[in-house]
Amino acid sequence: MNEMKFSDFQTKVLCIPEQYDIFLGGGRGGAKSYCMTLAALKHAEQYREKARILYIRQTYKGLSDFENLTREVFGSVYGQAARYNGSEHVWRFPNGAYMELGQLETPSDYQKYQGRSFTLLLVDEAGHYADPSLLDRLRSNLRGPKDMPIRQIMAANPGDPGHHWLAQRYVFKNAPWMPFDEEKSKRQWVYAPSTFLDNPFIDVEEYHSQLEASCPTDPELLRAWLEGDWAIARGAFFSSVIEEKRNAVDPWEEKPANSYRDRWEYFLAHDFGSSAPSVTFLVAKSPGIEGLDGKYYSKDSLVLIDEVATNEPGSLSKGMGYTVPVLAEEIRQMADRWKIRPEGVADDACFSNQGHGAGSIADEFRKTGVYFIPARKGDRRTGWEIMRRMLQDAGKPDKPGLYIARNCEYFWQTVPYLGRDPRKAEDVDTKGPDHAADACRYGCMFQKHTARTGNAW
């Protein structure tokens, strides 16, 4: 066996007691992926045939880079005695340990892992996951025999689409190398940072200029890569204004007839989609009194109390492909539950003629008894500003705030994690699942409108 050398960072990581899960959250080239091969080796040597290791990347392309790395490392340790099956992506070690290199991008990819058990879960480039839901699901595969410890190690660079949730969960919790409680996994984690300066195996100067060349117009991102800095302003679009404690409210009870709370105004805010999800919120607008949850809301505050989101189960970005009548039926059912008339605002695009004789989407809705007027969304930037302001003002006694009930699941699964447009920092990245944010924005714009001119219908 060739002699292996570790960087100080890697030695330190390998010495972290096994009961802690690890977040390798450094800059590029900090030797994180290599460190994962070492952690796998250690686990395999320690637990032998009981060791079942799963390494995950989002894409096959990413996986093949790591495959090469494992060939190099495991080859130099075990020679021919460690066998790799390239079509199964599985390593079998001479000590009996099993290691699978897997790809996971969509909920249907997850079926490959459904019901299977692993004892060490390695997630590399976790920042490529814009939201944590798939990885959280994967974590349920982490289980072993009683006496067998289980562990997760995750690596990510700052500045990727998942920047925000990773930073929030793992970075701003405790000082580096100090354990902290993580709620979702109910485990203790350690944040282990490194940068390319901690990596003695690369030519530092050359690496520096390579990184510089890869992002010439983005000094913030470069800083994140060089310094492993998670405090950069590339976090999610709403990260500075959405706070669960301030903006989430408990689900409202259904509306009792003839209550004084009928002074609340109710309307729909709708973003149309068919191959993409369509999102409709039931919005309640406060006259400056208590809501159905008994909580006081300042005048003109908005509460999203219910939603119809037609995303495919398990996916945030695929729609169910519903036609307008099917969608309208769902929206009417929601309105019936709350005893309100199904009317409100929708995306301006719903009002343009589609040119196939059926009129506009809004016309089709009208035929089924669901009434929309255009949100007159104006420019997106103004809309986002109003929405951000209202999110920020939630809880203030004298300013209208924006609140979202916890049962509005699609909102909570998407809006807090939406990225910024890489070219326009003041806009949402429209590549992400932005449908709930759009519908909410129309509601906020409309609120602004009626606050000035009185009721619109």
Q: Which residue has the tokens 């984690």?
A: 189
Least spacing, CB of residue 224 vs ligand ADP, in Å: 13
**C-beta closer to ligand ADP: residue 69 or 349:** 69
d(CA 72, CA 23): 24
The entry of Mg ion, ligand ADP, none near residue 162 (CB within 5 to 8 angstroms by kind) is: none
Strand 302-309's sheet: what is its strand order? Answer: 248-249, 402-405, 302-309, 279-285, 265-271, 343-346, 371-374
**C-beta closer to Mg ion: residue 167 or 361:** 167
Cβ(24)–Cβ(194) below 8 Å: yes
Least spacing, CB of residue 34 vs ligand ADP, in Å: 3
The entry of ligand ADP, Mg ion, none near residue 298 (CB within 5 to 8 angstroms by kind) is: none
CA-nearest of 101, 148, 147 to 122 is 101
The entry of ligand ADP, Mg ion, none near residue 199 (CB within 5 to 8 angstroms by kind) is: ligand ADP
**C-beta closer to ligand ADP: residue 163 or 270:** 163
**C-beta closer to Mg ion: residue 197 or 373:** 197
Residue numbers of the site for ligand ADP (CB under 6 A)? Answer: 5-7, 10, 28-34, 199, 201-202
**C-beta closer to Mg ion: residue 199 or 311:** 199
**C-beta closer to Mg ion: residue 121 or 324:** 121
The entry of ligand ADP, Mg ion, none near residue 10 (CB within 5 to 8 angstroms by kind) is: ligand ADP
d(CA 345, CA 336): 18
Which pair of tokens denotes residue 280? 């409709």
d(CA 80, CA 346): 64
The entry of Mg ion, ligand ADP, none near residue 28 (CB within 5 to 8 angstroms by kind) is: ligand ADP
The entry of Mg ion, ligand ADP, none near residue 70 (CB within 5 to 8 angstroms by kind) is: none
Least spacing, CB of residue 225 vs Mg ion, in Å: 12
Contacts 24+ apart (CB under 8 A), 82-90: 89/63
Which pair of tokens denotes residue 415? 């809006």
Residues 13-72 that bind Mg ion (CB under 5 A): 33
> For residue 300, what is the DSSP state?
T
Least spacing, CB of residue 45 vs ligand ADP, in Å: 16
> For residue 49, what is the DSSP state?
G
Least spacing, CB of residue 12 vs ligand ADP, in Å: 13
d(CA 304, CA 265): 12
Reported as type and span, the H/E element at residue 285 is strand 279-285
